């Protein structure tokens, strides 16, 4: 996601749904938000971003050595632009 490859990130995260639980689903929503923003679909991007925030909230600020706040902020900038 840090390189803006949101579609690839979403596809990879989708494969890990069963094993990863809420954290993986939250990251998938985050990647989907970035992907929708890149496609110019601001409404769906904001909806996915809200879902991501809700799912990732219990894991903030960091999970599995990943700075979740940084990733959320990255996608927020993408959705806002």
Span 18-39, pLDDT tens digits: 777 899 999 999 999 999 999 9
Confidence bin at 81 (pLDDT 50/70/90): low
d(CA 44, CA 37): 8
Instruction: Give the tens place of pLDDT for each residue, 58-80.
Output: 998 888 788 999 999 999 999 99
Quick one: which of 49, 66, 59 has its CA closest to 21? 59
Quick one: which of 48, 56, 61, 67 has its CA closest to 23? 56
Tokens 């909230």 sit on residue: 57
d(CA 33, CA 35): 5
Tell whether the model's pLDDT for residue 3 goes beyond 80.
yes
pLDDT of residue 19: 74
């Amino acid at each position: 996601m840090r390189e803006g490859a949101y579609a690839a990130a979403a596809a990879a995260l989708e494969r890990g749904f069963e094993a990863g639980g809420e954290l993986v689903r939250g990251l998938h929503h985050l990647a989907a938000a970035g992907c929708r923003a890149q496609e110019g679909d601001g409404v769906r991007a904001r909806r996915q971003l809200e879902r991501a925030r809700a799912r990732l909230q219990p894991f903030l600020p960091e999970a599995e050595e990943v700075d979740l706040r940084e990733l959320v902020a990255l996608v927020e900038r993408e959705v806002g632009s």
